[in-house]
Amino acid sequence: MKLTILGNNGGYPKGNGACSGYLLENEKVQVIFDLGSGTLSNLLSINDGTQLDAIFITHLHWDHISDLFVLQYLLEKRGQVLPLYLPRTPENIYDILSNIKNFDVHPIDDGDEVAIKNMKFSFKKMRHPVETYAIKAIDDRGHSCLYTGDTGICQELKDFAQDAHTLLCDCTYVNNPDENKHLSAEQAAEIAENAGVRHLILTHFDPEVNPRDYAIIAERILRRGRVTKSEIMLTFNI
Ligand SMILES: [Zn+2]
Ligand SMILES: [Zn+2]
């Protein structure tokens, strides 16, 4: 499978940047993980969206969903309906999204599994101020990619990350993480090292911080795998 970074900032995008959004695809399946501010434009520069199978949303914070609200106009124009998987809370935001007629909405629960052609997706609840899920994708060759969404440090993530080939990981703080919200570079690298991850891709950067600062810390800790800082439109083979 192939992973393309559509956005890598947390909260709000820096100039010419974009918030969380990722395209995961293989020869049969195309899905999106989150669709934050600026990511739809980046997607449309490489993919017209007509072959998308689904969009998976980790949680209903604006920096992960804001471009869904404009995507609806594109879908409406084409008469296209897209499966949209998302948490049930906060209810007021879930209700708005489930009333958009061009989305075929499926709520996510902890432990759920969804199969789309030759890929399987599973969901594990993480630690964040709103209901949020990490997503693990596995293809029919056994290759796996785990996207953490936003999360503070938790045992659920350490367990879920075991043996993932690629870990696309929240890395909001250089130092001093808020354990109820997000991970630091050090925590991301420790999780990857202990789980035997081959490739750690850091993302959800503070727009005021140089991504190099996170990578330098993570590279010191991760010995068994490699570290990459996400960059918009960068593509990785998994
Ligand atoms: Zn976020
Ligand atoms: Zn969040």
Note the pLDDT of residue 179: 87
pLDDT value at position 72? 98
pLDDT digits (tens, 9 = 90+) for 38-75: 999 999 999 999 999 999 999 999 999 999 999 999 99
Q: How many angstroms separate the alpha carbon of residue 204 from the centre of ligand 2?
A: 10
What pLDDT is recorded for position 184? 96
Sheet arrangement for strand 103-107: 103-107, 82-86, 54-56, 30-35, 21-25, 2-7, 235-237
- Domain total in the chain: 1
Q: How far is the CA of 8 from the centre of ligand 1 (A)?
A: 10
Find the length of the chain: 238
Query: In this predicted model, what pLDDT tens digit does every residue of 71-93 receive, in sequence order?
Result: 999 999 999 999 999 999 999 99
Nearest to 61, CA basis, from 4, 122, 10, 3? 10
What pLDDT, in 10s, does the model give residues 168-226? 999 999 988 888 999 999 999 999 999 999 999 999 999 999 999 999 999 999 999 99
Question: In terms of residue numbers, what domain contains 10?
Answer: 2-237
What rounded mean pLDDT belongs to the chain?
97
CATH code of residue 88: 3.60.15.10
pLDDT at position 163 over 90: no
Rounded to an integer, what distance in angstroms lies between the CA atom of residue 12 and that of residue 102?
Answer: 26
Rounded Cα distance, 129 and 120, in Å: 27
Please give the distance, rounded to the nearest whole angstrom, from the Cα atom of residue 150 to the centre of ligand 1: 6
As a whole number of angstroms, the distance between CA 146 and CA 167 comes to 5
What does R_g of the chain's alpha carbons equal in angstroms?
16
